[in-house]
Amino acid sequence: AGPAGAGDEVAPLGGVVQTVHVSVGQVINEGDKLVSLEAMKMVTHVIARRGGKVISIAIKAGDPVDAGQVLLTIG
């Protein structure tokens, strides 16, 4: 995968995707919870940095992710 773009939301840390809280086509607002990641038995929520429409989702529940990996794109 290439570098993250302006509309990309990335994993803040490595872990396993616990829950994806949005779906493609959904309109979201800045501050909405997008994804929950579990790492070392702690859950971290990825929060939208901007509002818009979910264009694509690159992960699903149970997927391992690395820090900086693109999780989804907001347009």
pLDDT of residue 2: 53
> Does 3 reside within a domain?
no
pLDDT of residue 3: 61
Residue with more model confidence, 25 or 2: 25
Count how many domains the chain has.
1
> Does 47 reside within a domain?
yes
Tell me: the pLDDT tens digits for 4-39? 788 999 999 999 999 999 999 999 999 999 999 999
d(CA 55, CA 66): 21
d(CA 65, CA 58): 10
- The CATH number of whichever domain residue 48 belongs to comes to 2.40.50.100
Q: Write the single-letter amino acid at 11.
A: A
> Does 66 reside within a domain?
yes
